[in-house]
C-alpha cells in the first residue's frame, strides 16, 4: 500500500498541466495590454513562419505567404493583420492564434502561383 501511495504521489508530483494554445482573441487582448510575454509568443510564431518559408523556398515548394521583399513583418504588423482578419471573420477569434495568424498572413501577402 505504501508503495502504491508513493507511486501515485510521484506521478502527481511529476505531472504537468496541459496548456492549450492561446486563441486569436487572447493574443489581441494581451497585445492591447502591452503584455511582453505575448509579444514574445507572436515574435516566435513569426520567426517560425519565416524559417518555414525559407525552407519551402529552398526546396522549391510554395511558401506559406509572400511578403514584399522590401518589407519585414513586425509584431505590430502581424497584430494589425490579425485584427483586420478577425474583424472580417469573427468566429475565427476563438481559434488557435497561430493558425489564424497564418491564415491572416496568407490573405494579406498572397503568393503568385
> Residue 48 and residue 42: Cα distance in Å, rounded?
10
Check residues 65 and 18 and name the one with the higher pLDDT.
65
**Residues 6 or more apart whose Cβ sits within 8 Å of residue 23:** 93, 94, 95, 96, 97
Provide the pLDDT for residue 105.
Answer: 97
* pLDDT for 41 beyond 70: yes
Which DSSP letter does residue 73 get? -
pTM: 0.79
Domains recognised in the chain with CATH numbers: 20-108 (1.10.890)
3-state helix, strand, coil in the chain (%, to 5): 65, 0, 30
Q: What pLDDT does residue 2 have?
A: 52
**Residue (of 99, 103, 89) closest to 23 by Cα position:** 99
pLDDT for 16 beyond 80: no
Element (H, E) at 13: helix 2-14
User: What does pLDDT average to over the chain?
Assistant: 86
Query: What does the block give as the cell for 89?
Result: 471573420
pLDDT digit string, tens, across residues 46-101: 999 999 999 999 999 999 999 888 989 999 999 999 999 999 999 999 999 999 99
What's the chain's Rg over C-alpha atoms?
19
Amino acid at each position: 500500500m505504501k508503495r502504491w501511495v508513493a507511486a501515485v504521489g510521484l506521478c502527481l508530483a511529476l505531472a504537468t498541466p496541459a496548456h492549450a494554445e492561446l486563441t486569436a482573441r487572447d493574443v489581441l487582448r494581451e497585445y492591447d495590454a502591452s503584455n511582453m510575454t505575448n509579444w514574445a509568443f507572436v515574435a516566435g510564431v513569426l520567426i517560425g513562419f519565416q524559417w518555414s518559408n525559407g525552407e519551402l523556398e529552398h526546396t522549391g515548394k510554395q511558401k506559406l505567404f509572400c511578403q514584399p521583399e522590401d518589407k519585414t513583418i513586425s509584431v505590430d504588423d502581424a497584430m494589425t493583420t490579425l485584427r483586420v482578419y478577425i474583424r472580417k471573420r469573427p468566429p475565427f477569434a476563438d481559434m488557435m492564434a497561430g493558425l489564424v495568424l497564418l491564415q491572416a498572413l496568407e490573405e494579406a501577402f498572397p503568393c503568385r502561383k
